[in-house]
Chain A
Amino acid sequence: MATKGGFVENLGKIYGIYTGGFIGFVILMAILEQLGVPDRAIGYMFIGFTIAIYALIGIISRTTEISEYYVAGRRVPAIYNGMATGADWMSAASFISMAGSLYVLGYDGLGYVLGWTGGYVLVAILLAPYLRKFGIYTVPDFLGTRYEGHLPRLLGIVVLFCASFTYIVAQIVGVGIVTSRFLQIPFGAAVFVGLAGILVCSMLGGMRAVTWTQVAQYIILIIAYILPVAILSAQLYGVPIPQLTYGQALQQISELEQTLGVANAHVAPFVNLDSLNFFALILCLMIGTASLPHILMRYFTTPTVRDARKSVAWSLFFIFLLYFTAPAYAAFAKLEIYQAVIGQSIADLPVWVANWGTVGLVTICDAVDAGATIANCVRSNVPINGNGDGILQLSEFVIHPDAIVLATPEIAGLPYVIAGLVAAGGLAAALSTADGLLLAIANALSHDVYYQMIDPKASTTRRLTVARVLLVVVALVGAYSASFQPAVIVSMVAWAFSLAAAGLFVPLVLGIWWKRTTKAGACAGMIAGFMVCLVYLVGTQFGGMELWFGVRNISSALFGLPAAFVVTIVVSLMTKAPSKEMQDLVDSVRIPRGAMPALAAKAIQHDPALR
C-alpha cells in the first residue's frame, strides 16, 4: 500500500512532469516540422504519442480490487477529481462543435454554455455530498438501496442506459472523425483505432485507470483549446487573453454587420430561439447535468464528503476554463470571415478557406448555376447558387460549425504542429467522455444487474471478470453502432439530458431531501417522468405530433420533470411511510460524520475504504 499512498501524495509532481513532457513533445514536433517532416507524419505522432501515454497510465493503474475498480479506492483528491470530471464532462461536441454553434446562433447559443455549467451548482448542493456519504458504487445502487428493491434499481438502469448509450455512440463517432481526419484512414477503421484507445484506458483498471487518464486528458485538451485562440488574440490585440479581448472583436463585428447588411446581430438575444425555448433549454441541460450517472459517479471517488463538495467546485472551475473561451473562438472566427472573406474577390480569398473547402467544411460558390459549373466554386456539396460577380457575398458562403475550432490555427497563420495539438485535444475530449460513459453503463450491468440481482454470492474475481467482459461488450456494440456514422444517433445526444433529468433527478433528490418518499412513489415518478419525456421526444420527432407551446423536443424534460415530481409526491403520500430504519438511514446520509447503518451495508460490504 505504501507505493499507492506515495502515488497520491506525489500527484502534483507526477502531473507536473507529465505536463512538461507534453510541452516538450509539442516543441519537438515543431522542430521536426521546421526540418521538413511531412504534416501527415506529425499527425500520426500526435495521435500515437497521446494514445500511448493513456495506455501506459491504463496499464500502470490495473487493479484486482473491487473498490479500486468501481470507485478508484475512494482516494482521489478533490482537485484531481475536478480535472477528471472536467475531461469526463467535456465531449467531442464541447471541444469541436460548441464554438461553431456559438458562431451560428450568436447570443442564443449561450444557452448551451449556461446549461452545461450551472447544473454543477445543483450537483453540489443537492446530490454529490450525500451520494458520497451513501457509499455506493453506481447511481442505480442508490435507488436500489434507498427504495429497497430490484424494481427501482432496474428502472434506474433503464434510464441510465437510454441516456448514456446514444451519448457514447456519438463520442465514438467523434473519436472516429478526429482519427480519420488526421491519420487519413477510412472512418470505419478509425472507429476501431479509437475503440482500442478507449479500452486501454478502462479495461484493466476500471475507475482507477479512467480517473488518472482523464486527468492526463484534461491537461492536453485545455492546453490545446486555449493556446491557438490565445495566440490569435495576441496577434489581433496584443494581449494573449482572448476572454478579455473578444469584446473589441464584438464591437468590430457589429460595425461590419451594418456594412454587410447582416440582419441578425451576433449579440442580439432570442433570434434563433424564442425566450421560452432559450430558458427551457437552460433548465433541461442543467437538471440533466445533475442527473447524468457518469458525472455523479465521479464524486463517489473522493476520500470524504467534504472533498466531494470541494471537488464539484473544482470541476466547475476546470469546465469553466473551456466554456468561457468558446465564445471568443466564435467571435474571432466571425470577425475574420466578415473582414477577410466576405466581400472579397474570389481570387483573393485566404488560404484556409480553400484548405477547409477541400475537406468539405467550407462551401463557397459564386457561380450562377452551381450544378452546371464548378468555376469559382470550392466544393459545392451544399447546393448554393451565387450571382457570378466574382465577389463573395454572405449568401455564397457556408461554413460547417466544426471548422471554427479546427481552422483557427490556420486563420492565425500558425504552423501545422498547432493543428496536430488541436487534434490531440479533440481526441482527448472524446476519449475521456467515452471512457466515463462506458464505465457508467458497464458498471450498472456488472454491479447492479449481475451482482445485486443475479448472483449476490459471486466472488471478487468473478465480479471483476464479469465487469471487464461487459465493458468490452458494451464498447464493441457502441463502436459497431458508431461505424455506420448514424446521423440520427448524433442528433439524439441532446435528448440524453432531458431523459436523464425526467427519469433520475426526482428520485435522487427526493430520496435525500424528503424522507417520506416511498418505493412506490419513486417507481411511479420515474416511469411517469421518463414516459412523458420519451413520448414527447419520439412523437414530435417521428410521429408528427404537434409541439406543446412550441417547446422544442430537446427540452422535453420541461414536461417530464413536473410529471415526475407530482406523481412521486402523490403516490408517496398515498402509500405507507418508509420504515423507521430507512428514515434513520436517510438521517445518517445527511451528516458527514459516522458510518452508514446496516441497511446500506450490503452495498458497501466489499469496500474497505468505508469499513
Chain B
Amino acid sequence: MAQDMSPTAPRLEEHWRRTRALMWTMLALWFFFSFIIHFFVVSLNQIVVLGFPFGFYMAAQGSLIAFVILLFWFAYRQNRIDEECGVDEQ
C-alpha cells in the first residue's frame, strides 16, 4: 500500500505497529496482575498492612485497582497514538 508520508496524512503502518506494542504491554501487565502476583500469595501474606495480609489484599483489592488504572491509562495512550498518527476521529 503506497503511503503519503506528509505529517497530515494518516500513517497507518506506524499506527498499527504502536497499537500492537501497546496491546502486548497491556497484555503483559494484565497477566502480571491476574496471575503472576498471586503465585506468591503465601510469601506475600507474611507482610501485613492495616491488618490485611498483603497476598490476600492483592487478590481482594490490589489487582482490581491496578486493572481500573490500567484501563484509563490505556484509553489515554491509545488515543494519543491515534492522534499522532492522524487516524483519530475528527
Contacts and interface: CB of A to CB of B under 8 A. Distances in A.
Interface of A: 107, 110-111, 113-114, 117-118, 120-122, 124-126, 129, 243-244, 246-251, 267-269, 275, 278-279, 282-283, 286, 304-306, 309-310, 312-313, 316-317, 320, 323-324, 327, 513, 587, 590-594
Contacts of B47: none
Contact of A121 (B52, B65, B70, B87): B70
A113 B67 contact: no
27 contacts: A114-B59, A114-B64, A117-B64, A117-B67, A121-B74, A125-B74, A248-B50, A248-B51, A250-B52, A251-B51, A267-B45, A267-B53, A267-B55, A279-B35, A286-B34, A304-B89, A306-B75, A306-B89, A309-B74, A309-B75, A309-B79, A316-B67, A316-B68, A324-B61, A590-B16, A592-B88, A593-B10
Contact of B56 (A250, A283, A304, A313): A250
A124 B71 contact: yes
Contacts of B33: 118
Given A113-B60, A114-B59, 17 more contacts: A117-B63, A118-B33, A118-B67, A121-B30, A125-B22, A125-B27, A248-B50, A249-B51, A251-B48, A278-B38, A283-B35, A286-B34, A316-B67, A317-B68, A320-B64, A323-B64, A593-B90
B2 interface: no
Interface residues of B, number: 48
B49 interface: yes
Interface in B15-57: 15-16, 19, 22-23, 26-27, 30, 33-35, 38-39, 41-42, 45, 48-53, 55-57
Across chains A and B, which 4 residue pairs bring their CB atoms closest together, nearest first? Answer: A247-B51, A313-B71, A591-B87, A110-B59
A313 B59 contact: no
Contacts of A313: 68, 71-72, 74-75
A327 B67 contact: no
A591 B10 contact: yes
Nearest to B70: A121
B82 interface: yes
A11 B59 CA distance: 35
A113 B57 CA distance: 12
A476 B33 CA distance: 42
A125 B29 CA distance: 12
A401 to B, nearest CB: 17
A250 B27 CA distance: 32
A290 to B, nearest CB: 11
